[in-house]
Structure 1
Amino acid sequence: MIDSPYRDLERPPLSEAALARAIVRPGGLWTSLSVVERTGSTNADLAQAVRSGAAEGAVLVAELQLRGRGRLGRTWTAPARSGLTFSVLLRPDVPPERQGWVTLLVALAAAAAVRRLTELDVRLKWPNDLLVGERKVAGVLAERVDGAAIVGMGLNVSVRPEELPVATATSLAIEHAECTDRDPLLRAVLREIETRYRDWIEAGGDADAAGLRSAYTAMSATIGQEVRVELPGERVLSGTATGVDAAGHLLVRAGDAEEVLSAGEVVHLRPAAG
């Protein structure tokens, strides 16, 4: 029989009780954790919870998400129990102009945790993707709902090559990660988010004082690269990504000018050679 990392691959369910015992504690950020067998969208479910007055720190995990979305309505799909699909509810008490860091903070925390457990060189593509090499292993989507931030994440864990929705995606199993157990991966990601989020809140949302900007820059696959940015109206900007500013915007130097780009106005961001 041909040896394969996908032979007899098991996809056991997550234990809500075990995860809640590990993550939810008095005085901690996470106040509740639920695991559902399937849902349309964990972000949409938590948005409804916000409208019903849910407290900060709710975590919702779905074993199968039927209508997962990325930025600009792009779809994100994966077979049941083949990845981590979850959303968290945050109510950051920081100035509005600094709240753009929520997406980058969660992406950074996830990348740091996944790197530590898997020993893969996970990098960050601004504003919300996690890459291994040039392929996407996870995405983050933040939405504002009645003053709260709902942040969702989809991480491909045991997805096989034939199950990938696009050729530019990958999974931890495909990349031969040291850890493909979803339970410790989720625990590590949530704990890393909590640590970095508390530091950021204590710093009043100042990404430099919290160490976020330097950490994000060190792990970025975008900063320092020649990029091609597609903007609304079929406009294209080519230049060098030089950094992110205090609000989490991408800085791109094109000729003698430096453009400041928010995530909402970027349709596609690619390496210039792509």
Structure 2
Amino acid sequence: MTPKPPGTPGSPQPDPAHGRWSDLERPPLNAAALRKALVRPGGLWTAFDVVEVTGSTNTDLAERARAGDAEEGAVLVAEEQSAGRGRLDRTWSSPARSGLFFSVFLEPDVPTERWGWLPLLAGVATATALSRAAGVDTALKWPNDLLVQVGDEERKAGGILAERAGDGVVVGIGLNVTLHADELPVPEAGSLLLAGAAAVDRDPLLRAVLRSLEQWYEDWRGAGGDPGASRLQEAYAAGCATLGRTVRAVLPGDREIIGEAVAVDGDGRLVLATKEGVQQPVGAGDIVHLRAAG
């Protein structure tokens, strides 16, 4: 996957046909104001860049991290992604300036076996922020989906992808904000707009998500990555729509486990209670798909 050449951070160049303000419903992010609000002495965020278009912010930031050109707290935002990625390299694309597409680089000084909690932490932080800033209840589908209610349907409005890069982890978040029904990539997708959000201004939404992510990350890191002591495990379980449902976990080799999702354990794995009376934990890296059974 070859990313498109990014624009100059914070200074995108408009063209006659697609100027920065060609869609007044979707103004560009105010990079300078966001940088001033988020990058401060003693805070987590150390750099904040916005590009007009790229293939994937995760790919770009991971390349920087592996080259030693990114320090912890670097944030990369794209107004448009042409090759956004989810788990197992599934694609994620949306119209320009219709959502929030960004990645952050973290170097948690906690045992590496607890780094698997980072995508779950990002989910909790994002859901918490959207509840406050957009007035939208956002549920979490294990392991990395963000769900909103559109009418009487539960739909995916966002996703999270975490991947190792250098001595740390790049965590990417993609969120549909102002997509209309005829712009959805698939009928079962959703957006904050379709969910009746009280606010869809991306600047305050991005600030809220990054501040929430900073708070949850610092609490988790301060607890040595312990999901119990940091209350992360409790918060994730409270917001996880997967728990209490009977699901089908499809594993490599066409194997599958069917059971009721009863818990998220201390390693961030989903625990399924099967009809045979066995409690079987499955990790995010072990599954191909997780679907409702029946």
TM-score range normalised by the length of the shorter chain:
over 0.9
Match of 1:207 in 2: 227
After superposition, the C-alpha distances for 1:47-85 in whole angstroms (9 at most, x for unaligned) are 111022221000000001111010011110100000000
Letter in 2 for 1:259: Q
After superposition, the C-alpha distances for 1:205-229 in whole angstroms (9 at most, x for unaligned) are 0000000010011111011211111
- SS of match in other structure, 1:64: strand
- With structure 1 as the length reference, what TM-score do the two structures score? 0.95
* Structure 1, 22-31 or 249-258: larger mean CA deviation: 249-258
Letter in 2 for 1:186: L
Contact 2:127-2:137 at 8 Å conserved across structures: no
Residue 147 of structure 1 deviates from its aligned partner by: 2.5
Distance 2:188 2:181 in 1: 11
Residue 9 of structure 1 deviates from its aligned partner by: 6.2
Match of 1:60 in 2: 76
Residue 264 of structure 1 deviates from its aligned partner by: 1.1
After superposition, the C-alpha distances for 1:102-148 in whole angstroms (9 at most, x for unaligned) are 00000110011011122222100001001013200110000011221
The answer for unaligned runs of 5 or more in structure 2 is: 1-22
The CA RMSD over aligned residues, in Å, is 1.1
Contact 2:27-2:97 at 8 Å conserved across structures: yes
- SS of match in other structure, 1:198: helix
Match of 2:197 in 1: 177
Match of 1:45 in 2: 60
Residue 246 of structure 1 deviates from its aligned partner by: 1.2
Equivalent residue runs for 1:47-126 within 5 Å: 47-53=62-68, 54-126=70-142
Residue 160 of structure 1 deviates from its aligned partner by: 1.1
Query: Is 1:168 matched with 2:184?
Result: no
Contact 1:102-1:142 at 8 Å conserved across structures: yes
Which of 27, 35, 39 is 2:42 aligned to?
Answer: 27
Distance 2:132 2:251 in 1: 35
Distance 2:66 2:226 in 1: 28
Equivalent residue runs for 1:236-255 within 5 Å: 236-254=256-274, 255=276
Contact 2:114-2:267 at 8 Å conserved across structures: yes
Instruction: Tell me the number of residue pairs that the alignment of Structure 1 and Structure 2 aligns.
Output: 266
Match of 2:164 in 1: 144
- SS of match in other structure, 2:81: coil
Distance 2:24 2:243 in 1: 37
Task: Please list every run of at least 4 consecutive aligned residues from structure 1 whose deviation after the TM superposition is greater than 3 angstroms.
Answer: none
After superposition, the C-alpha distances for 1:131-182 in whole angstroms (9 at most, x for unaligned) are 0132001100000112210010110000111111111110011111101010
Contact 1:107-1:140 at 8 Å conserved across structures: yes
Contact 1:144-1:150 at 8 Å conserved across structures: yes
Query: Is 1:264 matched with 2:279?
Result: no
- SS of match in other structure, 1:89: strand
- With structure 2 as the length reference, what TM-score do the two structures score? 0.88
The answer for unaligned runs of 5 or more in structure 1 is: 1-7
Query: Is 1:189 matched with 2:204?
Result: no
Percent identical among aligned pairs is 57
Distance 2:112 2:265 in 1: 15
Cα gap change, 1:120 to 1:110, in 2 (>3 Å) = same
Distance 1:264 1:9 in 2: 41
- SS of match in other structure, 1:63: strand
Distance 2:265 2:112 in 1: 15
Match of 1:5 in 2: none
